[in-house]
């Protein structure tokens, strides 16, 4: 059974927010995340993506995260990943995309 994605955005300061993601990040749900992250990056100077609730991520999910990283870099926005699940940290390493992100200390990377 497909687990729907949940994306919750919370303001954490005057120009910062946390985007908590849970569920499966895949072809069906990646556009929801992509849109939420584009909005967050467009409205903030610091965006922390909390991935602790993500249970699955395929290449389209990774693509949504990479699109946010590219937009953040071009806009001089500090984009960070937090609570990266082991399987996603492994995907980042194996795909050579780990360096596209700042991963907050204490997370698996």
pLDDT the model gives residue 27: 93
Given pLDDT bands bounded at 50, 70 and 90, which one contains residue 1?
low
pLDDT for 109 beyond 50 = no
- Residue at token pair 């926005």: 77
pLDDT the model gives residue 4: 84
Q: Is-above-0.75 flag for pTM?
A: yes
DSSP assigned state of 16: E
Q: Give the domains, in start order, of the chain with CATH numbers.
A: 6-102 (3.30.750.24)
Q: What is the DSSP string of 37-104?
A: HHHHHHH-SEEEEEEEEEEEE-HHHHHHHHHHHHHHHHTT-EEEEES--HHHHHHHHHHT-GGGSEE-
pLDDT for 89 beyond 60 = yes
Q: pLDDT by residue (tens digit) across 27-70?
A: 999 999 999 999 999 999 999 999 999 999 999 999 999 999 99
pLDDT for 105 beyond 80 = no
Distance from C-alpha of 109 to C-alpha of 105, rounded to nearest angstrom: 9
Distances, alpha carbon 44 to alpha carbons 28, 29, 37, 86, 92, in Å: 27, 23, 10, 28, 25
pLDDT for 108 beyond 90 = no
Tokens of 39: 């909005």
Q: pLDDT by residue (tens digit) across 7-22?
A: 999 999 999 999 999 9
């Amino acid at each position: 059974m497909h687990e729907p994605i949940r994306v919750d955005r919370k303001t954490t300061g005057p120009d910062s927010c946390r985007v908590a993601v849970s569920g499966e990040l895949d072809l069906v749900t990646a556009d929801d995340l992509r849109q939420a992250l584009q909005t967050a990056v467009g409205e903030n100077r610091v965006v922390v993506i909390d991935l602790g609730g993500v249970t699955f991520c395929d290449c389209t999910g990774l693509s949504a995260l990479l699109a946010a990283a590219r937009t953040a870099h071009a806009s001089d926005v500090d984009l960070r990943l937090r609570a990266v699940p082991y399987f996603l940290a492994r995907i980042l390493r194996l795909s050579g995309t780990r360096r596209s992100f700042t991963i907050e200390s204490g997370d698996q990377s």
